[in-house]
Structure 1
Amino acid sequence: MPFIGYARVSTDDQSTTAQAEDLRAAGCARVHQEQASGGDRTRPVLNRLFETLRPGDTLVVVRLDRLARSLSHLLEVIEGLEAKGVHFKSLRDPVDTSSPQGKFTLQVLGAAAELERALIRERTLVGLKSARAKGRIGGNPGLRSKDPSALRKVQAARDEALFRRLEESAQDWVPEVRRLRPDLPWEDVVRIINARLPSGARQWSRERLIRAAKRYVREGFLESHVLERARRREPDDRLMTIVAAIAGSAPDITLQQIADRLEAMRERTPRGRAKWSVSSVKMLLDRAKTQGLIPAERPE
């Protein structure tokens, strides 16, 4: 299990030397070092590091605040790592996603983040109710007068709220967009993502997914090539790519489960039928293996 270290400082007059020494002592063969603010979501060294991580790797930091400054951002990053099959470990904190205890700690952090959001909502509602009871007019005076500065602040707050909602759902769509675009058109990517969502979850539309991807590209969390025009494919090649995408998203998925997923997506078989057989899935998987789209060994 390769350990890869990440060390960060905020200013030029600080040094990553001490962090790098601790990480190497912990078994990190490679240590990536960066000078950037913890609140900066477009850290180039960290983003390039994420692209090089492979299943089975473990990303190691000295402290949690070296990776992220907010709890929501930290959880988003760790969920993205887990989607890639990469573990995470902090030397100074009890977080190690390769161990049951570390995963439990992560669940506690997630519950704390949700509690924090609930308390903020509750305090906001209580404050509004109290203001109405005292006869105060709701709303921002600057907005009522259409003050440009107030309008910019409100727009920034709405933009931040939208980004927080994207963070909460990132584990559902970011890994798939990163893997599948631009090899597949947005319509197919949307159907693959929606087929994996739990019952009752909000479904993605093509337009909403594209807006989310554009936002993440601007923030540096997705590469710009995901927004390129999808490559044209013959019908059989398209089906093969979709089957390979489903298989690649879940290494332990069986042929029957892939068939069920295709039916949930309302995808027709190569012969135009609604019902998928295991043999049809296997035929497309074999072609995908021949073309190197997925590993050669998979469970049947």
Structure 2
Amino acid sequence: MALLGYARVSTGGQDLEPQLRTLRAAGCTTIFEEKASGTSRARPELARLLDRLRRGDTLVVVRIDRLARSLAHLLGVIERVREAGAHFRSLGDPIDTAGPSGMLVLQIMGAIAQFERALIVERTKAGLAAARARGRVGGNPGLRARDPAVLGRLATARERTRLADLLPGADEWLGTVRRLRPATAWEEVTRAVNAALPPERRRFTRDRLVRAVRLFVQEGLAEPALLEGAARRPRRDPRARRAMELAASFLRGRPRATLAEVGAELARMGVQPRGGGPWAASSVKALLDRARGTGLLGAEHGQRRQRRMASETRHLRETLGG
């Protein structure tokens, strides 16, 4: 359980030494040193640190402004730390996620970020309504003139808003993406992500999911390898895909069903294995294994089945032995 320090200055002329002394005094044996402006996306040392984190480790900074360039970015980095099973501590602020008070501060900061987004939307609508009432044409003059600086600021603001919208539910989809990419095509990843989302959550399209992952990679919150091209796979028989989806759906509704019961349900729905005939237990098991691999079924279904089969085997042995 290591203490990993992160120190950053904005320019090469600034001195890192005061931060390094403070981090060493706090017990940090490994310190990642960054020279980048607060608005810069290029944070290679921060990316290396996040990849290095292991369960029980703590990321330590002197102040939170040394870590992130915005509240949304800060919350995203801390979410990445939490996913690694690690903690975050700011020596100059009342934040230590290893304790309840630090988590409370983070929850308050998250609520403030949502409040800020709501205020921006409300003020924008009110401003546009007032401008229309005065007969003014809405919009930004620089935007209408296609000023590159204005367009750049607008793109950055939009990305920050998108990031703030994606962060609260990232734990519901990013883990599936990490498990399947880059070996699996985006279409299959999208289906697996949507199958695992709560019913009330907005579904991803393929393009929206790719954009979300690309934004997380840009912010240093996800690994660049996720965006690498997947190897081309031979096209699957659509009937096999339908059989897999139906089997997974049946098992989600009846998690204690046996392989024979799943096969009987497929036959009842008119779904036959390749070559026809009844469903063999091995064929049903192969369908369910593929469903788990694509995220249509959680690993817990397979673990339950293994425990039940072990229990039935013990019962049979006891019966025969008796």
1:7, distance to aligned residue in structure 2 (A): 0.7
CA deviation vs aligned residue, 1:70-98 (integer Å, no higher than 9, x gap): 11111111112112212111011011111
Q: What is the Cα deviation at residue 164 of structure 1?
A: 2.6
Does residue 153 (structure 1) correspond to residue 168 (structure 2)? The answer is: no
Q: Whole-Å Cα distance in 2 between the matches of residues 229 and 281 of structure 1?
A: 30
**Residues 1:212 and 1:126: Cα distance change in structure 2 (over 3 Å):** same
User: Is 1:164 aligned to residue 161 of structure 2?
Assistant: yes
Greater Cα shift, 206-215 or 24-33: 206-215
Q: Counterparts of 1:278 and 1:114 in 2: how far apart (Å)?
A: 34
Number of residue equivalences: 256
Match of 2:8, SS state, is: strand
- Partner in structure 2 of residue 249 of structure 1: none
Runs of at least 5 residues in structure 1 that lack an aligned partner in the other structure: 236-255, 287-300
SS of the equivalent of 2:29 reads strand
Q: Which residue pairs with 2:87 in the alignment?
A: 87
How does 1:249-264 map onto structure 2 within 5 Å? none
Instruction: Give the letter aligned to residue 74 of structure 2.
Output: L
List per-residue Cα deviations over 1:8-49 (Å, max 9, x = no partner): 111112111111111111121211111111221221111111
- Give the partner amino acid of 2:135: G
1:54-93 alignment runs, 5 A limit: 54-93=54-93
What is the aligned partner in structure 1 of residue 25 from structure 2? 25
* 1:278 CA drift (Å): 8.8
Name the TM-score, length of structure 1 as normaliser. 0.72
Identity across matched positions, percent: 47
Structure 1 contact 84–175 (Cα < 8 Å) conserved: no
**Aligned partners of 1:10 and 1:99: how far apart in 2?**
30
Number of the residue aligned with 1:186: 186
Contact 2:10 2:37 in 1 (8 A): yes
Q: CA deviation at 1:175?
A: 4.5
The residue matched to 1:148 in structure 2 has which SS? coil
Report the counterpart of residue 281 of structure 1 in structure 2.
302
Over aligned residue pairs, what C-alpha RMSD do you find? 3.6
> What code does the residue aligned with 1:194 have?
N
TM-score by length of 2: 0.67
Deviation at 1:68, TM superposition (A): 0.8
Q: Distance in 2 between matches of 1:176 and 1:14?
A: 41
Contact 2:76 2:221 in 1 (8 A): no
Describe the superposition over 1:198-249 as per-residue Cα deviations: whole angstroms up to 9, x where unpaired: 33111112222123334444555544432233347899xxxxxxxxxxxxxx
- 2:103 paired residue number: 103
User: Take 2:58 and 2:76, find their aligned partners in 1: how far apart are those partners?
Assistant: 16
Where do 5+ consecutive residues of structure 2 fail to align?
Answer: 237-251, 257-261, 263-282, 308-322
Does the 8 Å CA contact 2:117/2:161 hold for their aligned counterparts?
A: no
SS of the aligned residue for 1:177 comes to helix
Say whether residues 1:204 and 2:219 are aligned partners: no
| Aligned residue type for 1:161 | R
Separation in structure 2 between the aligned mates of residue 228 and residue 136 of structure 1, nearest angstrom: 47
Note closer, same or farther for the CA distance 1:195–1:80 as it changes in structure 2 (3 Å cut): farther
Larger mean CA deviation between 56-65 and 124-133 belongs to 124-133
Q: CA deviation at 1:64?
A: 0.4
1:43 aligns with 2:43: yes
Q: CA deviation at 1:153?
A: 3.1
1:265-284: per-residue Cα shift (whole Å, max 9, x none)?
Answer: xxx95354799899971499
Q: Which residue number corresponds to residue 298 of structure 1? A: none
